[in-house]
Amino acid sequence: MPAVATQGLEHQAERAKSRQGFLLGLPAIVYLLVFFVIPLGIVIAYSFATRTRSGRTELNDWNVEAYRRLGEDVVRAVAFRSLWIAVLTTVVCLVLAYPLAYFISTRSPAVRNMMLVGVMIPFWSNFLIRTYAWRVLLDSDGLFTQMVSAVGLGDGRILFTSNAVILGLVYGYLPFMVLPLYASIERIDWSLVEGARDLYASGWMAFRRVVWPLSRPGVIAGSILVFVPSFGAFVTPAILGGNKKGLMGSYIVDQFLDARNGPLGASLSVVVLGVMLVGTLIYFRQGGRTL
Amino acid sequence: MGKGVARSTAEPMGYSRWLLRAHSLLVFVFFYAPIVVLVVYSFNKSAVVGKWTGFSLSWYGDFLANDNIQRSIWISVKVCVASTVISVVLGTLAALSIERFRWWGQKAFDAVLYLPIIIPDVTMAVMMLVFFGETAELFNVIPGVDLTDGLEKLVLSHVAFNISFVSVVVRARLAGLDASMEEAAADLYASRWQVFRRVTLPQIMPGVLGGALLAVTLSLDDVVVSSFVSGVGATPVSVYVFGMLRKGVSPLINAVSVVILVASMALVVASLVLERATSSQKGK
Amino acid sequence: MNKWMRLFALVCVFSVTAAACGSDEEASAFKQCKVGETDGDFNFYNWSEYMDPDLITAFEEQFGVTVTEDFYPSNEEMFGRVEVGASGYDMIIPSDYMVSILISEAMIQPVQAAAVPNKPNVSETFEDPPYDPGAVYTSAYQWGTTGIGVDIGVTGEVPHTWGLLFDAGLAEEFGLAGKITILDDPRETMGAALKYLGYSLNSTSESELAEAEQVIADAVSRVAAFDSDQYGDLMVTGETIVGHGYSGNFLWDFEEGDSEYDYFVPDEGGTIWVDNMAVLADAPHPCTAFAFMNFLLDAENGAQLTNFNWYASPNAASEQFIDQEVLDNTIIYPTDMSKLEFISDTGDFEINFTDALSRARS
């Protein structure tokens, strides 16, 4: 009998706790419902709506015409090019950010904070102006170009190529890689590393067997934070790439603004969002835990 | 939390230590190279950025004389502060709710929380534009609310994407902490609020600050969403600059960026100094 | 509410064309304003760097209202913002083809002649533009041309042809490969290619547009950038040699360069564009807006605007007050107007221009 009573109590306590959890999340839930989910619902509705001859989107005559157009060659070409650029950007960011995040984690707390703020400060200037500053560095008599050619790596002219686009995207999203990596590396219990060193003796092995697996959540979070905006970027490709080869971001903007094809723009957005969401969820499963 | 003891083993030895240092230095050079260009050309005489013709302070003079730009900077500051405060509170609560509790519907909330991060900027922009267009009249019925003024719309949409970023950062922090401290405190009959104030909050503080930093950055830097939702007279500086581009990038914009940079750096340095002072008072 | 207003406006427009809608009924559609009447502060949505701040101050002082001016970077962006309604703006400055779209969507209201007595100052060239027959809804603000800017310090004399942008042979001859910018604008860009082929830039022939698409696709490898904002800067910093762009923009940037520059409308013909003052159908303060329109159409104020932004004035009465060096500049005031064509709204066909440009770059 007493066993049953405690069980009931425990059950009650659990329910109370679950209610608490829900209440804590409630403000954010309500907020996102009103200011994100409902607007998103409108976009989804748009994707099934009809474009009138004058370019207005009418919420009637529901159809899947906009989704049918996603099979066109233009869309496929644009999607693959964007995918390629986003993957490269993510890899370069990871290679640049990991050692930096590692280095920052090994500093004293005061220096660590300074360095983290140091990573963010450039991003408090204006995004467009930063990107234009890159244009100045990359143009034919720019500092970057001169340095590259001085080192002997070709003529160093990369402005208005996809290399310049990748450089710009890496620059723009590198902090999104550094921050989560730092967060996960900083948490590592270094006595484990010490133990591993005693066992393997090689610093590299200790890194591969201990540090890398423990920092995986940061790698995953950072990769997503970099990959997603790179895939949809349209300002950087326009300024540094000269908009010569269509990318997903600019294609969607063109549909909404120039072509005034609301349904097509919306269907593209919905598909991109869906693929990203599924990808993210699978990626997290692979990573073992959420972030 | 005696991590500091073993930290020395973390730094690699031999030449790889120097390699790591050199790499970090180079990455910082990469971060600041365009910033140097930006600052240098704000003192350029010519109206064309990238073509140095001589030193001049005239762009700063223009900045001081330009009421529109100054107004837009204040709008950015207001939107940034308001959206950061709101999203830090809501995002931290959401993070706690997901990491520390289990409840029905949590999975769905978790997924929705990721959406603002993985949605393309443009889509978010169009969707907020259409949403406010359709509902402004409904909201305006509420006394004291007037969505024709773009300020509210800017804050509302910045919060909509910042909540998610804040909660991701705070969750990353929470995930690494075990809940035993909080449970111990609760066992000692500390009230829920006390547990939060005395145990949880100090532990997750780095995450909360990191989230706030991210929110400030995203809010100040956003062009796409802001340019769609800003209303009459509420043009944040990022959108103002976007509009000026039609006539070419005049060094005036560089001067504006330099002013914003210097002001924010001054704020950060002041807060670091203040933090150092208070923590040294508390400690030892 | 908004929808009803639009519908009402539309009905009234139909009635006007049928000459059945008397002025009494018209009055119920839009608030009627008297000369100089204001009904609150003025919210102005304009292109950036396009308005002399001194004129704004003068208007504020003369009428005792506050002016809020916001800026947009493209017609499309402006349209996106005002299309959803409740934008709060009174007046916008749409370009020609955008005016047709705004009229067909009933988003702007007719100019009230009674409140704008200066309207007859507008030159007869702009009295009956194709995008707004009879100039019922708009009044021209400034105008200019779209053509080609060349760094002739590098190339020497060049033939005045669109081939500078599109022709592989000419690119070879003058060393233009990788030194060309083309506007990133479906109508202007496809229009230039259509003109190059000898067609109208308002062509609605699928096959002609397909040919133009091929011209662009072939040119992509020689183009540095598709750019609508920075082409002048790029040329002046020596990054490009040839650019496709707007007359006034090039003029501003040429001032900053060390080389010798030229701007011309190619012999095959080019675009004449007009930006226009229009009052939104849902303007909160239409009377102030018309007062402002009348203010800008004043001879001296119109001249001041042109002396400020170096775009040609549609205001015939202003001519005597415009600086002589501006009037004599053939880039601002071209001597031969015959080969210029307006971009007109092609209705259903409009979307094909965007799709063609996307395909050419895919």
Average pLDDT across chain B, whole number: 84
Q: In A, residues 162-191, which contact C (CB 8 Å cutoff)?
A: none
Residues on chain B touching A179 (C-beta within 8 angstroms): 169, 210, 214
Cβ pair A24:B35 closer than 8 A: no
Strand partners, A95: none
Domains C2-12+34-143+273-328 and C144-271+339-360 share a fold: yes
Cβ-Cβ contacts under 8 Å, A187 against chain B:
176
- Chain C residue closest to B240 (CA)? C71
Give the Cα separation of B43 and B57 in Å (integer).
6
- Give how far C59 is from chain B: nearest CA, Å: 17
How confident is the model at residue B217, as a pLDDT?
87
d(CA C36, CA C115): 7
Domains identified in chain B, total number: 1
All residues of chain A having their beta carbon less than 8 Å from the beta carbon of residue C179 are: none
Does B134 sit within 8 Å of A273, measured CB to CB? no
The reply to whether residue C184 touches residue A54, judged by beta carbons under 8 angstroms, is: no
Determine the distance in angstroms separating the CA of A167 from the nearest CA of chain B, rounded to an integer. Answer: 10
> What is the band of A2 on the pLDDT scale with cuts at 50, 70, 90?
low
Cβ pair B118:A194 closer than 8 A: no
Confidence of residue B250 (pLDDT cuts 50, 70, 90): confident
Select from B158, B228, A53 the least CA-distant residue to C84: B228
Residues of chain C contacting B230 with CB distance shorter than 8 Å: 70
Segment A93-120 mean pLDDT: 90
Verify whether the Cβ–Cβ distance B51 to C81 is below 8 Å. no
Length of chain C, please?
A: 362
Cα torsion A206, A212, A213, A215: sign:
positive
Write out pLDDT tens, residues B43-76: 988 887 777 888 999 999 989 988 888 989 999 9
Mind listing the pLDDT tens digit for each residue in C126-154? Answer: 999 999 999 999 999 999 999 999 999 99
- Whether residues B101 and A18 touch (CB distance < 8 A) is answered with yes
Q: CB B101 to CB A20 under 8 A?
A: yes
Structure tokens at A25: 């999340």
The chains in contact with chain A, meaning 3 or more Cβ pairs closer than 8 Å, are: B, C
B105, B109, B112, B114: CA torsion to nearest 10: -130
Q: Where are the beta strands (DSSP E) in C162-227?
A: 180-182, 223-226
Mean pLDDT for the stretch of residues C227-232: 88
C-beta atoms of A21 and B106 within 8 A: yes
Distance to chain B for C44, nearest Cα, Å: 8
Contact assignment for C72 to B243 by CB distance below 8 Å? yes
A290 contacts on B by Cβ (under 8 Å):
110, 171, 175
Cβ within 8 Å, pair A73-C220: no
State pLDDT tens for residues C235-290.
998 999 999 999 988 998 898 888 999 999 999 999 999 999 999 999 999 999 99
Task: Give the mutation candidate from A258, A260, A261, A268 for the C interface (greatest C CB count, under 10 A).
Answer: A258
Q: In this complex, do B247 and C249 lie within 8 Å of one another by their Cβ atoms?
A: yes
Helices then strands, each counted (H, E), chain B: 13, 0
Model confidence pTM above 0.90: no
The domain defined by C2-12+34-143+273-328 folds into: D-Maltodextrin-Binding Protein; domain 2 (3.40.190)
Q: Which residues of C touch B231 (CB under 8 A)?
A: 87-88
Q: What ranges do the domains of chain A cover?
A: 71-286
Question: Closest Cα of chain A to C241: distance in Å?
Answer: 13
pLDDT of residue C50: 87
pLDDT digits (tens, 9 = 90+) for B157-189: 999 999 999 998 888 778 777 777 777 877 777
Query: Using CB atoms, which chains have 3+ pairs under 8 A with B?
Result: A, C
Residues in A touching B214 (Cβ below 8 Å): 179
Instruction: Convert A187-248 into a string of H (helix), E (strand) and C (coil).
Output: CCCHHHHHHHHHHHCCHHHHHHHHHHHHCHHHHHHHHHHHHHHHHHCCHHHHHHHCCCCCCH
| CA pair distance A84, A246, nearest whole angstrom | 13
* Complex confidence, ipTM: 0.87
Contacts of C230 in chain B (CB under 8 A): 245, 248-249
| B30 within some domain | no
Per-residue burial over A142-178, b if 16 or more Cβ lie within 10 Å, else e, is bebbeebeeeeeeebbbbbbbebbbbbbbbbbbbbbb
Residue B52 lies in a domain: no
Q: What is the pLDDT of residue B283?
A: 47
Whole-number percent of chain C with pLDDT over 70: 92
**C-alpha to C-alpha distance for B239 and C73, rounded to whole angstroms:** 10
Q: In this structure, are residues B63 and B71 in contact, taking their beta carbons and an 8 Å threshold?
A: no
Residue C320 scores a pLDDT above 50:
yes
pLDDT of residue B9: 60
- What value does the mean pLDDT take over residues B69-98? 94
Cβ of C362 within 8 Å of Cβ of A141? The answer is no
CATH of domain C144-271+339-360: 3.40.190.10
- From A190, A197, A265, residue closest to B126, measured CB to CB: A265
Name the residue with higher pLDDT: C83 or B140: C83
* CATH code linked to domain A71-286: 1.10.3720.10
Per-residue confidence (pLDDT) for residue A287, from 0 to 100: 57
| pLDDT for B230 beyond 90 | no
Q: What is the pLDDT of residues A202-250, one digit of tens each?
A: 778 888 888 888 888 889 888 988 998 999 998 899 989 999 999 999 9
Q: Is the pLDDT of residue A286 over 70?
A: no
**Looking at beta carbons, which residues of chain A come within 8 Å of C350?**
55, 260
Residues C104, A261: Cα–Cα separation, whole Å: 17
